[in-house]
Amino acid sequence: MRYLLIIITLISSLYAKEAPFSIIIDEPFNNALLDITEDFDRSMSAVGFIKSYKNGLKESDGIYTNAFDYLASLSNSNGSLIHLVKVGSNADIELRKSIKLSQFAEALGVVKTHDNGYIVAGNTINGSLVIVGLDVNANMIFHKIFGTPNQDKMSKIHLLRDGGVLIIGSSTTSRTDTGNLFQGGLGLNDIYLAKFSMRGEMLWSKKYGSADDENGVDAAEAEDGSIIILGQKNIGREKIPTILRVTQHGEKIWLYDIKGEKNTTAHKILKLRDNTFALSLSQLNDMNKEQIRLLKVDLQQNILLDKTINTNYTSILKDIKEFSDGKIVGVGVVEDQYNSDGLAMLLDSNFKMLAQEHYGSDSRDAFYALKILHNSQIGAVGIHTDKDSQESNMWIVKLNSNLKMAQIFKNGASKANTNTLYAQLLELFRDEIATKKLIIKEDLSIELIDSALYFNVGEFVLTSNQKLFLEKFSLKLLPFLKKNKELFKTLEVSGHTSSEWGMSDFSIGYINNTELSMKRSFSTISYIFNIQNQETKIFLSELLKGSGFSFSKRVIVENREDKERSRRVSFRIIL
């Protein structure tokens, strides 16, 4: 396994010009970060728990004759605290706060509110569930402890489109001979759902299941407002994922078991752009090692795709998200005989693995959740364990979209500068933006959107319209790049194609389109380069990079390829 772990410290920030975006927060006893979100100011916030304990008895505590009295005296003095950490673009910790409740609790999930606050949810130490509202500075606005009279457990929190918050978990059945079956429970454990408003008002709560042992794991919302719940059924030693569809008011529509030959564990459900759902599962192989299993299902219980990713070691994706181009990124854990690492994996829309990276030390490390950020970078959280230690620490990393660790820079070429440069580019090209010639994205990429600037099918030679635009475009862009040359590393010019040309079969079509996309990139680079003076040519020779993406980054509109808009070149400024 591959190991890479950098702790960001004051010393490293003073001497290193760049370092991986990896933060380890070490507190006494076990602690962890279990969920992550992005704030309106583009920082990241993560939640989890830390532990707080009394050091010893005070005189006023008296003498206790049994352990239960002593433990009761500590009930408001020690235990798990909900913990929130906010991290800026340069890996600086902007806020850390613990939320202490009368019934100590661990946070398992977080969502953002409309005013940049937080809704945090988790478990209490006595088997109840808790939801906490925090303002932008993590000050507590409200908290509600809720659940059934039984032992309850939360798994995930999900923000619904109507502004409601859905809690997904489980509740242990406990009923008398005369009790109402549906109030007491249906089996050993049941799927438990509760919906709240942003103000912490419970709108409804319900249980679902059968006579077997079932737990709620995660949820996703369909376009029609119905909700698909991913659950876990346990029958003896047999583990079966289950999916449940309910209305927006919680009425059951159907419940379906996903049976297989091997024990299978449910981890995550994700709504995809085409209104189908991706399920991240793990399934034991013949060597008794868990392997990643990914399913795509629709609203009618049909399994559209079933893919297992086989490796030589235990691999689990605990969270998955979808990029705007349809690729899927997942994070989790990979284990061998001696240790575990945080796992990051990139997949195409058919669950074919495109890349994977392992991050960690020579002890216990894992990722639990991820967030795709506004600039297509990835925030991930989990645990890190120091060498020769048995206690886990909080861990936050930022990855690029190719899964390589993002960098922070001492010289200022960071996200803070990206925001400034983005604003400057918007001002520089405001006329072209207003006349719909181009758009500029926050990752400093520039997309041409005027139909006169697209290529015809199979062609790469520049038209007079394209040449005229590139002359005006370079007259603005190149002086800007020269002015800020200490911040820039590369100006990448990428060629793209649609998928209708040269497709006698897939392999030949891909190679033909790869060549065509590279020719489009070369035509653009060579034209811009040749119309410059000698000084600018020397400058560009150290900055320009050409690439061809074939038809891998087609423009998709309403789930269909826009072939005209796909035949293009794009620009990206890389710091």
378-399 core/surface letters (b: 16 or more CB in 10 A; e: else):
bbbbbbbbbeeeeebbbbbbbb
Residue 505 is given by DSSP the state S
Q: Which residues pair with 277 in a beta bridge?
A: 271, 297
Radius of gyration over alpha carbons of the chain, in Å?
27
Match 């040449």 to its residue by tokens.
Answer: 467
What pLDDT was estimated at residue 10?
Answer: 34
Match 């289950």 to its residue by tokens.
Answer: 242
The domain defined by 415-574 folds into 60s Ribosomal Protein L30; Chain: A; (3.30.1330)
Strand, helix or coil for residue 507: helix
- The pair of structure tokens assigned to 307 is 């893919």
Reference 187, options 177, 201, 173; nearest CA is 173
Strand, helix or coil for residue 504: coil
How far lies 5's CA from each of 135, 315, 358, in Å?
A: 33, 19, 10
Domain ranges of the chain: 1-30+314-408, 415-574
What pLDDT was estimated at residue 17?
Answer: 52
CA-CA distance, 92 to 284, in Å (whole number)? 40
What pLDDT was estimated at residue 80?
Answer: 86
Three-state SS string over 14-63 comes to HHCCEEECEEEECCCCCCEEEEEEECCCCCEEEEEEEEECCCCCCHHHCC
273-283 core/surface letters (b: 16 or more CB in 10 A; e: else):
eeebbbbbbbb
Tens-level pLDDT at each residue, the chain (575 residues): 333 333 333 333 334 456 789 999 988 888 999 999 999 988 999 999 998 765 544 444 555 566 555 555 554 445 789 999 999 888 889 999 999 888 888 899 999 999 899 999 999 988 899 999 999 999 999 999 998 877 889 999 999 999 999 999 998 865 544 445 444 455 578 999 999 999 999 999 999 987 788 999 999 999 999 999 999 998 888 899 999 999 999 999 999 999 877 889 999 999 999 999 999 999 988 888 899 999 999 999 999 999 999 888 899 999 999 999 999 999 999 998 778 999 999 999 999 999 999 999 888 999 999 999 998 999 999 999 988 788 899 999 999 999 999 987 654 444 445 667 888 889 899 999 999 999 988 778 899 999 899 999 888 999 999 999 999 999 999 998 888 777 777 888 999 988 877 666 777 878 888 889 899 999 999 999 999 999 888 888 888 888 888 887 878 777 788 888 888 999 988 87
Residue 199 and residue 174 in contact, taking contact as beta carbons nearer than 8 Å: no
pTM above 0.75?
A: no
Strand, helix or coil for residue 410: coil
Residue 205 and residue 195 in contact, taking contact as beta carbons nearer than 8 Å: yes
CB atoms within 10 A of CB 303: 12
What pLDDT was estimated at residue 283?
Answer: 92
Reference 266, options 255, 284, 285, 280; nearest CA is 280
CA-CA distance, 76 to 234, in Å (whole number)? 35
Residue 258 is given by DSSP the state -
Reference 244, options 213, 204, 207, 272; nearest CA is 207
Q: Give the helix ranges, DSSP H, for 402-463.
A: 415-428, 430-434
Match 């390829």 to its residue by tokens.
Answer: 561
Q: Where are the beta strands (DSSP E) in 147-236?
A: 152-159, 165-172, 189-196, 202-208, 213-221, 227-235
